[in-house]
Amino acid sequence: MKNLFCALALLLFVTMADAQTGIQFTHGTWSEVLEQAEASGKLIFVDAYTTWCGPCKKMSREVFPDEKVGAFFNEHFINVKMDMERGEGVELAQRYNVRAYPTLLFLDADGQVVHRAVGYRDTDDFLALGQEALDPERRLGALDARYARGERDPEFLYKYLLAKANAYDPAATELLDVYLNTQDDWSTRRNMEVILRFGKRLNGQAFRYLMDHLDAFEDTFGARAVRQHLEMAVQESMANGYVSEFGEVERVLREVHGEGADELVERYRMNYLLYQNRLDEYRRVAADYMRRFKPRDPELLNNVAWAYYLHEDDPALLRQALKWARKSVKLDEAYYNTDTVAALYFKLGKLKQARKWAEKAIALAKASDQDYTSTAELLEKITQAR
């Protein structure tokens, strides 16, 4: 019996060890984490995530449990998972300017950021990121210091630009200009790549160069890739307040799309007015757009319906938004638009329909492994209102 007990204990130990081959995340307060880093001499790795972030879940499911990742990160870092919308995570998100997810932070024992990146990383890229964080010459904090000291070597600026961009640092936009001003020939493939990747300010010199040499960029990278970049640049410029008037956006769209730009111009005009919080104009343009173009893009229909849900109280306008949301569902039934239908029914006081659609949205979210916290909260409000 004793031997059997030992064998079972050994089997349990081996099973538990196998289950813990990935990253071991520490638990405790942030001050305790800093103390642990001070005592161990290790850097701190923080997976700054939210519950609704799909790429965050993908890393937790596919990357963090990897044996090689676990061995490396457990040896070299104090590892922390922190929800940026709960508890201490809210204050840390503000302190470290976390705006996109996942943000992967590396800090010293004083809580100073030495390296960071944003977005999903596969196993190899994540290991490479950890190695960069350990190297004083390669991590972002060291690059910041070299730049502050006045280093302007073109190769250094190129590496610094990539590091800033990987961290989603807005300073990358200005840094692109600094780098390009060291280049005699902007038409090399590497320089065209950085212009295409980072030249997103419509009034910037890099974007103007791209527009002036559009044919060359399309020949090198393909028309589809270039047009996707241009539309992303337009969207980011509007969202970040880089556009002083919509005419700048319209000029770009018409230059690229010619006579076929009318529908796209009006779609972007809606977004621009929404970013500017010019709601009366947005309502007029959105209604006109829907009437003229009769869109069948489920995401666009849902986005407009959701904007009405957020900003309108007039039952007639909410009923119109509900029609658009229902049309979105008919084209592509998914969590994102069934949730909108539920929210609109609730705002209209139709509690029975709101409950039905909220439950459907939650079922769809569970089936596709999406976070449905906000819908569960809506369902609780529906229950309380009955």
- Other CB atoms within 10 A of residue 349 CB: 11
- Long-range (24+ apart) CB contacts under 8 A made by 138-142 are 139/106, 139/114, 139/115, 140/113, 140/114, 140/115, 140/116, 140/164, 140/167, 141/112, 141/113, 141/114, 141/115, 142/114
Measured between alpha carbons, how far is 198 from 174 in angstroms, rounded to an integer?
Answer: 10
Q: Which of 209, 232, 103 is nearest to 95 (CA)?
A: 103
Q: Which of 61, 45, 55, 68 is nearest to 127 (CA)?
A: 68
Torsion (CA) 328, 334, 337, 342 in degrees, nearest 10: 120
List Cα–Cα distances, 59 to 103, 123, 180, 236, in angstroms: 11, 9, 35, 26
User: HSE on the CB side for 1, CA within 13 Å?
Assistant: 0
Q: What is the number of residues in the chain?
A: 386
Write the CB contacts of 275 (distance below 8 Å, at least 6 apart in sequence): 238, 239, 241
DSSP H helical segments within 137-261, as ranges?
A: 140-148, 154-166, 171-180, 189-198, 205-212, 214-221, 223-239, 246-257
Whether residue 309 contacts residue 337, with contact meaning beta carbons closer than 8 Å, is answered with no
Measured between alpha carbons, how far is 64 from 282 in angstroms, rounded to an integer?
Answer: 44
Cα 103 from chain centroid? 9
Which residues are the active-site residues?
A: 53, 56
Residue where the block lists tokens 């922190």: 82
**Assigned token pair, 313:** 């109280």
Measured between alpha carbons, how far is 264 from 235 in angstroms, rounded to an integer?
Answer: 12
Whether residue 63 contacts residue 126, with contact meaning beta carbons closer than 8 Å, is answered with yes
DSSP string, 225-289: HHHHHHHHHHHHHHHTT--SSHHHHHHHHHHHHGGGGHHHHHHHHHHHHHHTT-HHHHHHHHHHH
